[in-house]
């Protein structure tokens, strides 16, 4: 499945924001990105970090591990749509999954080292427009 497919999924609306002045740094770690519904597990979400860059990484978290979230300024797409950006505070000790695109080679080449991945990303975004 294309990494850009996750950017096309519907935004996550299940998070309920509670207003408080709590210090989340004691019990939680923050992650920023654009939240997306998990494609097949309603108890999890995906957080797309640095969308539209060559350093895009996807994080997967259980919704119950979210302590708090903060709204951040959105990102405008080329089509004029606004991409929701948030800071999620995740309980320390929780398990998460990090998805990072790479090119199979010896040694493995990650997005910022791989001309192939840059070309695929460029072609995918061109076909999408």
Distance CA 107, CA 100 (A): 15
Residues 6+ away with beta carbon under 8 Å from 19: none
DSSP for 20-75, written as a single string: ----GGGTEEEEEEEEEE-SS-TTEEEEEESTTSTT-EEEEEEGGGEEEEEEEEEE
Checking if the pLDDT of 28 tops 90, the result is yes
Q: Contact 86/72 with Cβ under 8 angstroms?
A: yes
Calculate what percentage of the chain has a pLDDT beyond 70.
69
Closest CA to 85 of 101, 97, 69: 69
Checking if the pLDDT of 50 tops 70, the result is yes
Calculate what percentage of the chain has a pLDDT beyond 90.
34
Q: 119 or 56, which is more confident?
A: 56
CA distances from 22 to 18, 36, 68, 93 (A): 10, 25, 10, 19
């Amino acid at each position: 499945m294309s990494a850009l497919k996750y950017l096309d999924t519907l935004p996550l609306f299940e998070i309920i924001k509670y207003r408080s002045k709590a210090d989340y740094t004691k019990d939680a770690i923050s992650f920023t990105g654009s939240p997306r519904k998990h494609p097949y597990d309603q108890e999890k979400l995906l957080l797309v970090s640095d969308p539209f860059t060559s350093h895009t990484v996807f994080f997967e978290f259980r919704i119950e591990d979210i302590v708090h979230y903060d709204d951040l300024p959105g990102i405008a797409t080329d089509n004029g749509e606004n991409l929701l950006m948030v800071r999620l505070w995740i309980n320390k000790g929780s398990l998460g999954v990090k998805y990072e695109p790479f090119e199979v080679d010896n040694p493995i080449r990650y997005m910022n080292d791989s001309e192939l991945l840059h070309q695929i990303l460029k072609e995918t975004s061109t076909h999408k427009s």
